[in-house]
Amino acid sequence: MKKKFKQIQQFWQKPQTKQAWQELKQIAKSDPVKFPWWLATTFSTASSFVDHPILGNSHLNDMGLHELRVKQGFQLANARREKLAQFLSRDEVAQYQQNGFILKENFLPEAEFQTLKTELTETPLPTRETLQGDTVTRRMALDFRTLPDLPNTQKLIDSRHWQNLINYVGSFKLQPLYYVQVIISQVRKSRPDPQTALHSDTFHPSMKAWLFFTDVAEDEGPFVYVAGSHILNDRRLAWERERALNIQDSDRMSQRGSFRIKESELADLGYGAPKKFAVKANTLVIADTYGFHARGLSARPSMRIELWAFARRNPFLPWAGFDPTRLPLVKSRLIPALWWGMDMMEEKGIRKNPWRDVGLKRATDPAEITSK
């Protein structure tokens, strides 16, 4: 006990500890009301360097705060995946570990796929659209209002194999948000969509999935991924540190926690060249979006339609299960709650909601929002 007490005493006497304490006291003085929230969310999914004074504090990051969050998030995800690997084949696990994604061509039997495609592309669904650069992204909610009328969709997302793939890449037994997503390219003359820049979504492993309903050519906005960039090596960790320390000089998306990277920088981090996913319809891709990825440029006006899933959970949890959002009365209400919350934030003047309500739409309808 005396030895433990002495270790604690020595820790608090360290100059770095005293400096960190001083920084936290200054942040607390700047806004005593918000400080408890900032402190509580330091080890959460929070990632914005500009909206979170603790995460954006240069002194704390110089002492290793951002590196600690990245390293712990990566290590805990690996530990959770070890527990979930038993539910996949060896080939599926090996494909993920090597690349950072699982790709499965002809994922569904052809007749089953065509039935699912018809169901999701011809049914009018509650829809939101956002315009970024020259591209509209449309998301159509699959929730408690729509899934009762979509039996083939419900069957797929409830299937054991589908869920096991999602869970393994996401490193949790989790509840994704499900949408029909439509990417409509070149709706106006403008700068390229910012999603065409190579980026990591956030500082920790997270999951996105695409079941493509249309063939996607290399020059029609394909998904792009840097194989192996989901792996945190020493060079990547040093790069993360450098980006965090110089965040004030970065672009807006990087400042909010989604680091952008140039293709010419990849080799310095030990990664290869980006791969374009020119795929046939009925191809499933599930990727860890800590790995660098992008939406490829489109050479012409095009429309990409997919069943899209997204999931992200607190990376500092050691367990893989116990996700309250999987509860029956909760899981199908996540999207309406998310959209309502974003609308309320705009109504209260806190933040503009980029996702505009365009009513009921079919997936193949032309874009509603083509200008800002």
pLDDT-based confidence at residue 9 (cuts at 50, 70, 90) = low
Q: Is residue 135 part of a domain?
A: yes
Residue 4 has pLDDT above 70, yes or no: no
Q: Of 348, 347, 74, nearest to 232 (Cα)?
A: 74
Q: Is residue 144 part of a domain?
A: yes
pLDDT-based confidence at residue 90 (cuts at 50, 70, 90) = very high
pLDDT of residue 3: 55
Q: Is residue 182 part of a domain?
A: yes
Residue 303 has pLDDT above 90, yes or no: yes
For residues 63 and 60, what is the distance between their CA atoms, to the nearest angstrom?
5
Q: Is residue 170 part of a domain?
A: yes
Q: How many CB atoms lie within 10 A of CB 24?
A: 18
Count Cβ atoms within 10 A of the Cβ of residue 350 and give its class: 0-12 exposed, 13-18 middle, 19 or more buried.
exposed
Contact assessment for residue 264 and residue 197, using Cβ atoms and an 8 Å cutoff: no
pLDDT one-digit tens code per residue, 148-178: 999 999 999 999 999 999 999 999 999 999 9
CATH of the domain at 251: 2.60.120
Per-residue burial over 38-62, b = 16 or more CB atoms within 10 Å of its CB, e = otherwise: beeebeebbbebeebbbbbbeebbe
pLDDT of residue 370: 85
pLDDT of residue 191: 84
Region 207-234 average pLDDT:
97
pLDDT of residue 8: 46
For residues 365 and 219, what is the distance between their CA atoms, to the nearest angstrom?
22
Region 293-320 average pLDDT:
95
272 compared with 11, residue with greater pLDDT: 272
Domain count, the chain: 1
Region 294-299 average pLDDT:
92
pLDDT of residue 194: 85
- Which residues of 142-186 form beta strands (DSSP E)? 177-185
pLDDT of residue 159: 98
Q: Is residue 202 part of a domain?
A: yes
For residues 210 and 287, what is the distance between their CA atoms, to the nearest angstrom?
9
Region 96-124 average pLDDT:
98
Mean pLDDT of the chain: 94
Residue range of the domain that includes 257:
90-311+324-359
Q: Is residue 226 part of a domain?
A: yes
pLDDT of residue 259: 98
Q: Is residue 80 part of a domain?
A: no
pLDDT of residue 192: 80
Q: Is residue 214 part of a domain?
A: yes
Written as one string, the DSSP assignment of 265-277 is GTGGGT----EEE
Region 49-76 average pLDDT:
96
